[in-house]
Each structure stands twice: as structure tokens, then as C-alpha cells.
Amino acid sequence: MSVTLGFQSPTQLLIDGKWVDGEGRRTLVVENPATQQEVARIADGTPKDARAAVEAAVQAFASWRQTSVYERSRLLRRWFDLVEQDRENLARLMTIENGKPLSEADAEVTYAASFIEWFAEEAKRAYGRTVPATRAEKRILVLRSPVGVVAAITPWNFPAAMITRKVAPAIAAGCAVVLKPASQTPLTALRLGELLEQAGAPAGLLNIVTSSQARKIADVWLDDARVRKITFTGSTGVGKFLMERAAGNMQRLSLELGGQAPFVVFADADLGVTLDALMVAKFRNGGQSCIAANRVLVEEGIVDEFLVKASERVRGLRVGQGLEPGVAVGPMIDAVGREKVMEHIEDALARGARLTAGGSALPGAGYFVEPTLLADVNSDMKIMHEETFGPVIAVTTFQTEKQAVEIANATEFGLAAYLFTQDAGRAWRVAEALDYGVIGLNDGLPSTSQAPFGGFKESGIGREGAQEGLDGFLETKYVSWGSVGIGLGG
């Protein structure tokens, strides 16, 4: 079974190195959110398939853990090269199943591949250490070992990068993986799996179970003590569920969850730089990004100029199908996503916000919402507390540095915050005072494979990317060697 989109791409489950229909032989429809048309039918995996995936991963782990880091690095490097070569197809798949503009999908291929490249190198740096012991005849060695079989569950908003950010470090560490990608964007995941197979991955190193039964698949993996780590990116609600359930087998957890990013603009900021950054921080992926700027806090003295210039830019954004040239904003992923965005807009307007651009859902096929700017937003409005996940800028004002930080930190989330100022002292003070894991300082696009990405508070646990991203798949073990002796013999 394969889907034809001008090229062949897999639609079956990947288990133990084989493409299979799955136990139930049922299928799941993949839809294009820009047209609401069926794009493909893929295998709809069942709990039995999820168990078969674990069996395969357990077998693969037994030998993969014994490979040298250089062998792992070479496999990842070959995967990286194949992903780069397949750039056009991967980008097209992402635009078709997620809706994002093709240029953004192309940028996501670069971003996704960068994790594979980074961890191909970082594999070689899983260093241990020796520690001076309290007794002269003893030696203490600290070793790093792979955590074991890893279960990864990923969202639809970055269909490629959220997978490589987990699978590449897991493979680098010596782990085997069972993956359940989002049911709305499975085609990108399956193609990445096919490319890893072509790179020469041993059977069972990566197993992919696409399914409409996320909870049941997760239950199988949570109940199996041989699965030693759950790595999840998605909503905070599902993250909390997984955390509770993982306690049963004390599985390790990494959780990359929701955000409610403040975007703080001081009067001394360079307004051109700030607005360029805001367009990216807000409208990338139609605002459906965990680090999307949700609340824009502008110092009172410059708010009028800010609103005029920002509204002009927002009105200039072209909305449409991602495959059309010049489109800057695609559709929301589905009707539920669009409803939530409209609910935030309507709630803000009912409570006194002022519309300066957009404000409506577009009629016809596709889940489109106009790029929108709301002024005079206040803390009673939903948009100031919940993640909007849509193309809406909500502007509120502040008077002092202290007040800006208080408003910015007034949320249970703590993923990303943005800060715009040309005053170096203020930049340090405010960056240190913000309770967030990622700070964009005069930067609207802080995500990168070399930096440790993750959130404070309800935005998650653990970090992905950088050295920390590899650490998440390693256990620490020490060997206390009691009888080395003192001085030289003979």
C-alpha cells in the first residue's frame, strides 16, 4: 500500500523492519486541512500492533546498545543525507497533510535534519568520568548507558522536526524506538521511517504505529515495563495523563507541552527588528506553534505607533493553500482548532478588545482564519490565559519593567518568552526574571538543534536538542572499584 502524490510514499505500519497492514487491516483517512479533501488512507494500528512494535524494539535494542557510537553516528549521518536529498517530497507531504506554506515546510526539513546531524556528532560525546574516591585503594568510574526501549508520541504541528528531535538522540544513545505520530500528519513520519530504513537501520530500531486509538496504543506502552522511557510532545492535558500513568513502571519521561508566550516590547526596542520578529513568532505555522507569541506586551508610550505598523503588516499577509506561491498563512489543522481561535477572538471582542485587522473565519473549504490583531486586550480575556494556537496578535500595555515581568509571568505555562530592547542591562535583568525555558532576546525564532529546548512549570519536563537532548536517553551508572590497591606492585 502506498500513496501517490506525484511520488510513492509509505502508508503502512513499520514493524521489525517490515511494512505491514496491521492486525485489524483497517485504515485511517488523512485529510488536507486546506481543502478538506482526502489525501491518503493509512494503516490504523491496534494495541496488538503496538505490542508487536515493542517486541521488535526489545530485540533491536539488545544488539544496538552494543554498537560503537561511531557506528550509530554513521547511520544518523546517512539518514541526514537522505532527508536532505528527499527535501522536496518531505516538504510537499508536510504542506499537504498539515497545511503550512511550502516555504515553511522546506524550512522545517532543514530544522528536522539539523537534529539528525547534531546527534550524529553528539553521539560521540556521551562521556563518563572518573571521580576521586574517599579511600586510596578505590576508584570510581561513572558510565553512561542507553535508557532502553523508548516510546515516542508526537504532534501534528511540526510533523518532521518533533520526530527527529526525539528519534535521532535516542538512536545516538543506543536506544530502540516505538513511535506513534499524530494521526493528522502520519505521512511525513512514515517517509522519515522509510529513509531511515534506506540508511541501513537494523530491523526494529525504529517502529512506527500510526493509529486512531492514541490512548490505547499509549496504554500498551505504559503497561510494558520493558519500555523504559516515554518521550512526548503535545498538549499539557495529555502530558499530565502520561506522567500519572508512567509512575506505574517508573518510566523515564520527557514532556514538551503547551505554551502561552509573552512577547515584551520596550520603548527602546528597534521597531523594525521587533515587527519582523513578531511576524515569525506569531504567524509561523499559522500560529500553531508551542512557542507562538500569544500575548504582546507593549510599553505604553509606543503602543499607538506599534499598532499602526503591526496592523499594516498583518493586513498584508496572504492566506491560502500552502502549495500556492506567496502564501504566508495556511489553514488551522481542523474545525476544532479553528473554533478555538474564533472563540478567543469573540471572547476578547465581547470583553472590550478592539479589532485593527482580520477577525473572521474564511468561508468555503479549508479551516482558514484571517490574520488578526486585537488591541486593548486585558487580563479578563481567555486569550491572555489559554494557548490560542492561531494567527491572532493580542496587544496589551505596561508602564514599568517590573509590571512587564509580572504580566509576562502570570501564567501556568513557561515555555518561551520574547523580549525586545536595546538596553543591555535591561535585557539581562528581564531575561533572568522571566520564568521560561526559552528566551528570544531580540529574536523571533530561537529554536535550534544546538540549544536545550523545553519548558518551566506546566510546559513540561526535560530538554530536547543540545547535550541535554542526548542526556534524556542515557542512564548514569557508577562502578566503585574497591581493590585497585596503593602504589605500584613488584
Residues annotated as catalytic are: 256, 290
Among positions 74, 84, 241, 446, the unique one binding ligand NAP when judged by CB under 6 A: 241
Reference 188, options 257, 99, 120; nearest CA is 99
Instruction: State which H helix or E strand residue 393 sits in.
Output: strand 392-398
Q: Alpha helices, DSSP H only, in 351-465? A: 401-409, 424-433
Give residue 233's Cα distance to chain centre.
Answer: 6
Are 243 and 255 in contact by the 8 Å Cβ rule? The answer is yes
257 binds ligand NAP (CB under 6 A): yes
Nearest approach in angstroms of CB 218 to ligand NAP is: 3
Alpha helices in 123-270 (DSSP H): 161-173, 186-198, 214-223, 236-246
* Cβ count near 30 (within 10 Å): 21
Question: Which stretch in 36-44, 47-55, 136-144, 214-222 sits in contact with ligand NAP by CB under 6 A?
Answer: 214-222
**What is the bridge-based pairing of β-strands 456-457 and 413-414?**
antiparallel
Which residue from 290, 310, 383, 395 is in contact with ligand NAP, where contact means CB under 6 A? 290
Of 180, 282, 284, 338, the residue at the interface with ligand NAP (CB under 6 A) is: 180
Least distance in Å: CB of 209 to ligand NAP? 11
Residue 156 sits in the site that holds ligand NAP (CB under 6 A): yes
CB 221 within 8 A of CB 249: no
Confirm or reject binding of residue 154 to ligand NAP (CB under 6 A). Answer: yes
Question: Which one of 35-43, 250-258, 274-282, 344-352 is the stretch in contact with ligand NAP (CB under 6 A)?
Answer: 250-258
Q: Which of 120, 190, 404, 415 binds ligand NAP (CB under 6 A)?
A: 415
Tell me how far CA of residue 38 lies from CA of 30, 35, 96, 103, 214, in angstroms: 6, 9, 10, 23, 21
Give me the least distance between CB of 486 and ligand NAP, in Å please.
51
Start-to-end Cα distance in the chain: 71
Q: Which is nearer to ligand NAP, 53 or 375 (CB)?
A: 53
Residue placing its CB nearer to ligand NAP in the complex, 292 or 328 = 292
Out of 31, 197, 387, 471, point to the residue binding ligand NAP (CB under 6 A).
Answer: 387
Close Cβ partners of 441 (under 8 Å, ≥ 6 residues apart): 418, 419, 427, 431
Q: What x/- string results for residues 121 through 140 when contact with ligand NAP is judged by CB under 6 A?
A: --------------------
Contact residues: ligand NAP, CB under 6 A? 153-158, 162, 180, 182-184, 214-215, 218, 233-235, 238, 241, 256-259, 290, 387, 415, 455, 460
